[in-house]
Every structure is written in structure tokens, then in C-alpha cells.
Amino acid sequence: MAQIILVASGKGGSGKSTFVSGISNALADLGKKVLAADCDIGLRSLDLMFGVTENVVFDWGDLLLERCTREQALIKGRVDFLAAPRSFDDAFTTENVSKLFRSFSDDYDYIFLDAPAGIDRGLTVPAAAADRAIVISTADFVCVRSCARAFEELRRAKIEDIRLVINMFEVKPACKRKLLNIDQCIDETGVQLIGVIPRDINISFSSVTGKSPEADAPSSLAFNRIAMRITGKRVPLICE
């Protein structure tokens, strides 16, 4: 039975989709069966990060609307993938969308739902399907504050297990006075930390090429640690 994990942030561009692709690959490396579903309706991007854009013909909206079969919608790979619909449909209710994602539960260990920016129905509809959530924030106060709002919405959607990932973290940032430290991010969001991902130039390349960063890239090491923590292993939050 899969755990369905929603990845959200409130503010755009904090690294939700990057996180979903990185963590899905890291869990696949641990031998887990993973499905990643892009829920950014109208602004899909996860297909690029998985390098499967050419293979996308149908999306999960087509499946929900019975325009295609499950086999046609599902793009099989090391991590299986469902593309986001191009536009919202009245049939995308919390009940229907939950039922759809839960119908994949028996075949996977983890199902990741990549939420869009914002706290409207784009967030609340996939949130209804989720067992857990991970909110992604940079150490920028604007991002941290919107992350705190997303956290409130997820709590309202009855998700109790919510964890924070601080992304694009820099130990020695160029504009230090504008950024928060790790403790301040935790205090301001009110969310328990599950991991910290450094700013890593390899991620910028991989989002263009669709290939994961090398195994020894700083971001890959961070994704591996978070993957182990998701599976319940006790590993340090930050690499020494």
C-alpha cells in the first residue's frame, strides 16, 4: 500500500518539482517502487525533469475522464510518471482525484504529488488524496512565510504528518542579511525539518537535460539522506 506524499510550498519556484524528481530517484535507488504525478495543471514541468516529455500523450486528467486506459496514461520507467492535465475540468473534484491516485496505491511504495504554487484548489484538490506532505522553502523570508500559509491549508485538509525541506541552502550566501538560518526557517514555518538541500549548479543542468545529477553531487547526497528519513531510517539531517 503506497504512502501518498504531497509536495507543496505556497510560493512558486522554491523547488517542488525538482524535489519530486530528486526524491523519487533516490527512493528508486533504495529499491522502492515510486510513482510521481505532476499536479501542476496547465503548467506541467515534471515531464522535463524526468526527461519523458516526448513520451507524454495522455495525462491523469484523460484517465479520470475515461479518454484513455491506465496503461496509456502511465509512463513507465525507473520512476513511473503521470503527466498533469493541460486545463482544469469540473470533474477534478477532491473525491474523483483522490479515488484516481488511490487506485494506484497497491502497485507502489510511494506516490508523490507535485502541487502547483498557490493555496487554492490546485493545492486543496491533490491534498485530499495525500497521507503526508512535504513543504519546500528556500531560506528567503518571503518563501518561508508563504510556506507557513501552505502548511495551514494542509492542516485544514486534515494532513497531520507534514515536514519541511529547506532548498537551495547556502552556508555562505552572498546576501546573508536577507536570508534566514535553519532554525529561523523552522521557527517561522512551524514545521518540523526533514532535510536541507544545498544550492547546486548540477540541478540547473539536470532540469534542462532531464538526467539526474551525478551520485556524488551535493544535491544527490542530500536527496539520499531525505529518502532514508522518509523510509524511517535515522540519519543525520545534514552531511558533515
Ligand X SMILES: Nc1ncnc2c1ncn2[C@@H]1O[C@H](COP(=O)(O)OP(=O)(O)OP(=O)(O)O)[C@@H](O)[C@H]1O
* Binding residues for ligand X (CB under 6 A): 9, 12-18, 40, 45, 116-117, 167-168, 197, 199-200, 203-204, 207, 219
Give the three cell numbers for residue 40: 501542476
Residue number with CB closer to ligand X (9 or 212): 9
Nearest approach, Cβ of 71 to ligand X (angstroms)?
Answer: 27
Q: Are 166 and 137 in contact (CB under 8 A)?
A: yes
Nearer to ligand X, 61 or 116 (CB): 116
Alpha-carbon distance of 82 to 55, in angstroms, equals 11
Question: From ligand X, Mg ion, none, which one binds at residue 14 (CB under 5 to 8 Å depending on kind)?
Answer: ligand X
* Nearer of residues 124 and 231 to Mg ion, judged by Cβ: 124
- What pairs with residue 75 in β-bridges? 81
Least distance to Mg ion, CB of residue 115, Å: 8
164 forms bridges with which residues in the sheet? Answer: 135, 193
- Given Mg ion, ligand X, none, residue 118, with its beta carbon under 5 to 8 Å by kind, binds none
Strand partners, 192: 163
User: At its nearest, how many Å lie between Mg ion and the CB of residue 140?
Assistant: 17
Which residues, numbered 10-39, are part of the site for Mg ion (CB under 5 A)?
16-17
Can you spell out the DSSP letters for 40-88? -TTS--HHHHTT-GGG-S--HHHHHTTSS-HHHH-B-SSSEEEPPPSS-
Residues forming contacts to Mg ion in the complex (CB under 5 A) are 16-17
